[in-house]
């Protein structure tokens, strides 16, 4: 059976170079990085070299990079510590954030009695920047804004510099879940006055279980996990050196090949979009998916014209045909619940139709797109 993987927004295929670099560490550099002997020093060097590599690319300081198990831990850590340590009493976010943010914010509201404000959304799902400014200037409470850079379901791109500047001018902290954009977009944290960012290696062809947080210096955040003195005392626990090396290899290759691979993936998305329009004339594109400037090149979210009854079997039929994609967010695909993102941006009629996210990478081809479009056309027809 032919198989097609169009679910890179959920997780990406690991590059062979990443596998090779991790295997070398696992077999040759297996010392504990906290040990003072040669084996430990070699492992420690790998960690600190990776930290410097990331910091240089982001135009950050090495001490501002903290390794975590991934985006979810990093989001949790930053939000909780900001409330606990930085006197934040109001969190401003949007109703279509990743659940790593939304569920954490809800817990903080229950635990610390913080005020939670949700910024209004434009029809396409992009936050209303005027409403954000209104919320920022409403009172003198210490505020933290948490808005993702690239929405993981519909691909909308936040004007991150605009939001960061708004926050800075109103003495508010700014956290962004950048899991879908690190490795896919250039960053300069000196140009964009952001306080906190998060990343996960498996979103840019690295291993699962490793990521990092950018925490700007002098943020006054204290550790959430206690134990040893790893990560400059900010996150205790023996570091997974092989995963950190895999993260570095994937990160370096992502930015070395960024222009070439971005152009290739953008071409795939454009080709897929036009092929769908031709094959299924009534197809709709959710969010800003039809806009090259306001939507990421890595994914497309489509609303297919079919009855709710027929829609129930779509995911099953696609799987039978060997096509991997996501109905809603992959992180909740096993829950049986509808997408909270689409619920906020689609009208009632379109909510009854199936919406599917297809996400692409350098490993995909136009031939695969032709196959997927033919399967969709046959099923819809």
Cα(29)–Cα(11) distance, integer angstroms:
27
- Measure the CA–CA gap between 310 and 321, rounded to whole angstroms: 16
What is the spatial distance between Cα 253 and Cα 314, in angstroms, rounded to a whole number? 36
Q: Is the Cβ–Cβ distance between 216 and 189 less than 8 Å?
A: yes
Catalytic: which of 81, 124, 289, 331? 331
Report whether 79 contacts 224 (CB < 8 A): no
- Does 331 participate in catalysis according to the annotation? yes
Q: List the 143-146 sheet strands across, edge first.
A: 65-68, 211-215, 196-200, 173-177, 143-146, 90-93, 115-118
Distance CA 198, CA 241 (A): 19
| Sign, Cα dihedral of 153, 67, 62, 202 | negative
Q: Angle at CA 236, nearest 5°, toward 232 and 238?
A: 100
Q: Is residue 212 within a helix (H) or strand (E), and if so which, with residue range?
A: strand 211-215
Convert 196-217 to b/e letters by CB count within 10 Å (16 or more is b): bbbbbbbbbbbbbbbbbbbbbe
CB of 294 within 8 A of CB of 366? no
Would you name the residues annotated as active-site residues?
A: 331
């Amino acid at each position: 059976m032919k198989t097609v993987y169009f679910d890179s927004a959920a997780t990406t295929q690991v590059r062979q170079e990443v596998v090779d670099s991790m295997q070398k560490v696992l077999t040759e550099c297996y010392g504990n990085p906290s040990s003072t002997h040669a084996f430990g020093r070699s492992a420690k060097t790998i960690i600190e070299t990776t930290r410097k590599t990331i910091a240089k690319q982001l135009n950050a300081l090495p001490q501002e990079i903290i390794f975590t198990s991934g985006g979810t831990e990093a989001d949790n850590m930053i939000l909780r510590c900001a409330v606990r340590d930085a006197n934040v009493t109001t969190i401003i976010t949007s109703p279509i954030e990743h659940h790593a943010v939304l569920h954490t914010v809800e817990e903080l509201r229950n635990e610390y009695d913080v005020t939670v404000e949700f910024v209004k959304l434009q029809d396409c799902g992009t936050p209303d920047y005027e409403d954000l400014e209104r919320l920022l200037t409403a009172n003198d409470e210490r505020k933290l804004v948490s808005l993702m850079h690239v929405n993981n379901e519909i691909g909308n791109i936040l004007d991150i510099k605009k939001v960061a500047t708004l926050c800075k001018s109103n003495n508010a902290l700014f956290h962004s879940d950048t899991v879908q954009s690190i490795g896919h977009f250039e960053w300069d944290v000196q140009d964009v006055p952001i306080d906190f960012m998060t990343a996960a290696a498996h979103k840019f062809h690295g291993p699962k279980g490793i990521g990092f947080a950018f925490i700007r210096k002098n943020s006054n955040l204290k550790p959430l996990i206690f134990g040893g003195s790893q990560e400059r005392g900010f996150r205790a626990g023996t570091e997974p050196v092989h995963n950190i090396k895999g993260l570095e290899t994937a990160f370096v290759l992502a930015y070395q090949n960024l222009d070439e691979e971005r152009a290739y993936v953008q071409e795939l998305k454009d080709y897929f979009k036009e092929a769908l329009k031709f094959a299924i004339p009534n197809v709709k594109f959710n969010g800003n998916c039809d806009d090259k400037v306001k939507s990421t090149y890595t994914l497309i979210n489509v609303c297919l014209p079919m009855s709710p009854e027929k829609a129930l079997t779509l995911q099953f039929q696609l799987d039978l045909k060997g096509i991997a994609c996501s109905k809603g967010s992959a992180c909740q695909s096993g829950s049986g619940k509808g997408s909270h993102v689409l619920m906020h941006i689609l009208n009632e009629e379109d909510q009854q139709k199936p919406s599917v996210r297809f996400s692409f990478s350098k490993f995909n081809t136009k031939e695969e797109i032709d196959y997927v479009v033919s399967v969709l056309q046959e099923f819809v027809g």
